[in-house]
Structure 1
Amino acid sequence: MALSRNDLVAALAEKAGVTKTDADKVLSAFSDVVLDSVSKGEKVSIPGILSVERVERAARTGRNPATGETIDIPAGFGVKVSAGSRLKAAAK
């Protein structure tokens, strides 16, 4: 079962002892900070939980699966999300 945004907000509010409205504002602010930082090429890290960073992807040659035709894929950026030790331990 996936945890929806509403479920996450409710859980945060309960754990922190704040209103759902305040928890939603914090979650929105957190999302904005992560998006802004990653777009600038900065790494965001929550020790033991996760880290998020922008990575460069080199130009490469690919193949169109429908036609088999070779295509050039330009260089670009991607996002790397790494699980921290506490998150990995919780998944066991």
Structure 2
Amino acid sequence: MTKKEFIADIAEKGGIAKKDAEKVVNLFLDTVSDNLEKGNSVSFVGWGKWEVVRREAREVRNPQTGKKMKIKAKKVVKFRVGKTLEEKVAKSKAKIK
């Protein structure tokens, strides 16, 4: 699902204009992004949690050449799914690609 499709779905389910749904989606995304940028986690009980974690520097091997490479330490966003959402998806009958 693309952002455009997501906005259309929100508008339809909420009975609101697409323009208003787009504002809400953009506000949501901006708020999550701003909080992660500040180092805060964003959590929705039962649904999931976004948090910023530090990935340490490490040495890896290029599988094609076998050459060793170093990857610098960096901050990454991690999402952990909540129990309620995990169970809902597990029970769904949707086809997996």
What TM-score comes out, normalization by structure 2 length?
A: 0.81
Where do 5+ consecutive residues of structure 2 fail to align? 91-97
* Larger displacement relative to structure 2 (9-18 or 44-53): 9-18
Counterpart for residue 85 of structure 2: 87
Q: What's the CA shift string for 1:36-87, capped at 9, x where partnerless?
A: 1112211011111121111101111111233212222111111111111221
Q: How does 1:11-90 map to 2 (within 5 A)?
A: 11-90=9-88
Distance in 2 between residues matched to 1:21 and 1:44, nearest whole Å: 25
| Percent pairwise identity | 39
Q: AA paired with 2:6? A: L
Q: Secondary structure at the match of 1:24?
A: helix
Q: CA deviation at 1:22?
A: 0.4
